[in-house]
């Protein structure tokens, strides 16, 4: 019998140099995370840069127009730096992006940064509310479905998720508008606000729900809420379908683990076994699922935004793409890509916060 | 302390129904250490699980400390009397609960006071220093984990401990430590053991009496002296003894 195994001879607290080593390890892992973050961003910008160069759209022609002379064309060509080597162009592009300069949008005639500042909060507001709905319903549904595997709730959850996956969102959106706006009149119609309230709330965050609360304008809040609730529920339903299935499979994996049997033998109630023991252990993978689903709502709700005339990023990028407005497309893509990178970083940080073993 | 009569345990529904235990009966007196041996799938662990309330598809009669058990529900008082230690200490401890959390949860559940002092004593009892209190399972060796699992079972101050192959996932050298620890604890706390093992040497070392199982039935209940002398009345038991000796020589 060794001391190390019985612990009788082991020191009760780690020696100071162990703690210093742990701190160093910690610092190194943060530095590593930041480095990989920087590399990911560089890769993202490289990809958008290359896309901008290989697109069969002549950026010079877009600026000078069809009727420009060859001399005008060449002058613009040089002014845009397109005669320089690609590496130089890329470095210049990096510099521009880092200072927040994405150029001017051809279709709106405004700086792309300003456009994005206007449309992105609309998308964030919609995606956030959608994800909140998806999490608030999807997670408990998945947990209960796993706990009552094969039972009625499990079957209902399966059908709900299957419908969520397979129904085209534009159809559900149109039906929702027809029923809840057209027939029942329960919700506001397309757009973010009714005409009366349009532009009435001073912009602080760009999120109208938040801004109207800051302004203390309950009428504007109710109006904005009645406009957002239908598209947000729709997006919430789609993320619910995914989140509830993932939650269920994570939970089934945990519930079959032997430490759950141990918890039952302790005499814990089934509720405590499920929520305190099993659910605590799936929080970490669940965070990744939720973060990715949030990210996909940030970029991918184009159809919803078009159906509900929601002035968001998805609609902005799509319109820009259709009119060959590359500055706007690249700017929007960089924003969406950055969001994904940041969400991944956030879920990494939450991993550490939620895992007691990392303390 | 424990009476099992005509116990049947089954899984699934007909026609896929599997009868894991058939008409098993045995008695364990207070303070006794009783072994259940048999090959894999003979139903020995299933009996323990049925007693512990982890399986509800059983019939027959199980009595613990004079109280007959209900098929489904076990109350908190039951888990104060009966606790279980599992085979694999790598799987049976919650990976995100520190030793402190593991022990204090059981203590709080049983409404005990003075939790700090009790945890310190439990850790002493199982031969772990107090420095282990705030460690997590991944920071412990297999033997240390099993000590924590035993401390967790003892936290409720049970009278009957169900041991499901408590050493078979451990190294041989650590096995002996855990077995000695279990023997010492039984003497100190006056515990009753029911121990499942496929290892006759372990049962011979730990138990007073044992039941030999084959294919879900108890073929023979015998004294441990009879086991040592090899005077079993059933063919199967003799084969089992011979097989284990052959294994020991190899």
Please write the tens of the pLDDT for every residue from B59-69: 999 999 888 88
Q: Is the pLDDT of residue B123 over 90?
A: yes
What residue ranges define each of the domains in chain B, with the CATH number in brackets?
A: 2-249 (3.40.50.300)
Q: With an 8 Å Cβ cutoff, are A7 and B138 in contact?
A: no
A146 Cα to chain B: minimum distance (Å): 18
pLDDT at site A234: 92
Of A71, A98, A125, the position where a domain reaches its end is: A98
Q: With an 8 Å Cβ cutoff, are A267 and B156 in contact?
A: yes
pLDDT at site A359: 58
Of A98, A123, A141, the position where a domain reaches its end is: A98
pLDDT at site A300: 62
| Average of per-residue pLDDT across B209-224 | 91
| Average of per-residue pLDDT across B45-65 | 91
Q: Is the pLDDT of residue B77 over 70?
A: yes
- pLDDT-based confidence at residue B173 (cuts at 50, 70, 90): confident
| Average of per-residue pLDDT across B34-49 | 91
Answer whether B45 touches A (CB < 8 Å): no
pLDDT at site A358: 67
Per-chain mean pLDDT for chain B:
89
CB A61 within 8 A of CB A358: no
pLDDT at site A109: 83
Give the burial string for B135-168 (b: 16+ CB within 10 Å, else e): bbbeebbbbbbbbbbbbbbbbbbbbbbbbbbbbe
Answer whether B159 touches A (CB < 8 Å): no
What is the enclosing helix (H) or strand (E) of B18?
strand B18-28
CB A24 within 8 A of CB A41: no
Query: Is A4 contained in some domain?
Result: no
- Is residue A304 domain-shared with residue A155, that is, in the same domain? yes
| Domain tally, chain A | 2
pLDDT at site A18: 66
Query: Is A83 contained in some domain?
Result: yes
Query: Is A317 contained in some domain?
Result: yes
pLDDT at site B172: 85
Query: Is A106 contained in some domain?
Result: no
Q: With an 8 Å Cβ cutoff, are A266 and B109 in contact?
A: yes
Cβ contacts (< 8 Å) between B93 and chain A: which residues? 259, 262
pTM strictly above 0.95: no
B226 Cα to chain A: minimum distance (Å): 31
What is the percent of chain B with per-residue pLDDT over 90, rounded to a whole number? 56
Positions of chain A with pLDDT lower than 50, given as ranges: 1-15
| Average of per-residue pLDDT across B199-206 | 88
- Is residue A118 domain-shared with residue A94, that is, in the same domain? no
- Is residue A38 domain-shared with residue A159, that is, in the same domain? no
Provide the domain limits for residue A201.
Answer: 112-358
Closest Cβ opposite residue B130 in set A12, A258, A259: A12
Rounded Cα–Cα distance for residues B76 and B93 (Å): 20
- Is residue A140 domain-shared with residue A90, that is, in the same domain? no
Q: With an 8 Å Cβ cutoff, are A277 and B94 in contact?
A: yes
């Amino acid at each position: 019998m060794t001391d190390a195994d019985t612990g009788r001879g082991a020191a009760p607290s780690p020696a100071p140099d162990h703690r210093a080593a742990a701190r160093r390890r910690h610092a190194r892992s943060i530095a590593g995370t930041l480095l990989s973050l920087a590399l990911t961003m560089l890769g993202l910008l490289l990809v958008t840069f290359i896309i901008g160069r290989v697109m069969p759209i002549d950026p010079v022609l877009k600026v000078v127009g069809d009727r420009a002379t060859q001399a005008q064309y060449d002058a613009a060509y040089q002014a845009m730096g397109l005669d320089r080597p690609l590496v130089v162009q890329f470095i210049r592009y990096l510099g521009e992006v880092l200072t927040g300069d994405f150029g001017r949008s051809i279709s709106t005639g405004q700086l792309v940064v300003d456009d994005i500042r206007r449309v992105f909060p609309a998308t964030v507001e919609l995606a956030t509310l959608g994800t909140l709905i998806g999490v608030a319903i999807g997670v408990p549904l998945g947990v209960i479905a796993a706990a009552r595997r094969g039972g009625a709730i499990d079957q209902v959850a399966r059908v709900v998720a299957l419908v969520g996956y397979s129904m085209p969102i534009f159809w559900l959106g149109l039906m929702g508008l027809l029923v809840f706006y057209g027939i029942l009149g329960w919700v506001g119609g397309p757009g973010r606000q009714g005409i009366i309230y349009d532009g009435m709330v001073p912009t602080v965050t760009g999120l109208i729900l938040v801004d109207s609360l800051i302004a203390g304008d309950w009428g504007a809040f109710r109006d904005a809420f009645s406009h957002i609730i239908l598209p947000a529920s729709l997006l919430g339903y789609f993320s619910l379908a995914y989140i509830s299935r993932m939650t269920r499979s994570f939970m089934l994996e945990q519930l079959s683990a032997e430490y759950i049997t141990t918890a039952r033998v302790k005499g814990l109630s089934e509720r405590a076994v499920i929520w305190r023991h099993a659910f605590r252990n799936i929080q970490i993978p669940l965070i990744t699922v939720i973060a990715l689903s949030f990210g996909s709502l940030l970029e991918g709700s184009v159809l919803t935004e078009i159906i509900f005339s929601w002035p968001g990023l998805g609609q902005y990028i799509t319109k820009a793409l259709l009119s060959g407005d590359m500055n706007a497309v690249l700017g929007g893509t960089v924003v969406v890509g950055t969001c994904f990178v940041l969400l991944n970083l956030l879920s990494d940080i939450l991993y550490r916060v939620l895992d007691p073993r990392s303390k | 302390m424990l009476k099992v009569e005509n116990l049947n345990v089954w899984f699934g529904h007909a026609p896929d129904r599997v009868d894991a235990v058939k008409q098993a009966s045995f008695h364990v007196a207070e303070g006794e250490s009783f072994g259940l041996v048999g090959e894999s799938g003979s139903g020995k662990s299933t009996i323990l699980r049925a007693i512990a309330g982890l399986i509800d598809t059983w019939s027959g009669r199980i009595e613990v400390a004079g109280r007959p058990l209900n098929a489904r529900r076990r109350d908190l008082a039951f888990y104060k009397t009966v606790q279980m230690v599992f085979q694999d200490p790598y799987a049976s401890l919650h990976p995100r609960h520190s030793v402190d959390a593991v022990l204090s949860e059981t203590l709080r559940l049983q409404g005990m006071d003075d939790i700090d002092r009790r945890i310190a004593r439990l850790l002493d009892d199982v031969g772990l220093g107090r420095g282990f209190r705030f460690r997590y399972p991944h920071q412990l060796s297999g033997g240390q984990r099993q000590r924590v699992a035993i401390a967790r079972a003892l936290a409720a101050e049970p009278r009957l401990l169900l041991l499901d192959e408590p050493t078979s996932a451990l190294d041989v050298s650590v096995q002996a430590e855990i077995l000695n620890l279990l023997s010492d604890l039984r003497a100190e706390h006056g515990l009753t053991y029911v121990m499942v093992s496929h290892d006759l040497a372990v049962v011979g070392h730990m138990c007073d009496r044992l039941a030999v199982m084959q294919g879900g039935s108890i073929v023979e209940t015998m004294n441990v002296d009879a086991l040592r002398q090899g005077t079993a009345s059933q063919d199967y038991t003799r084969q089992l003894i011979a097989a284990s000796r052959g294994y020991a020589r190899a």
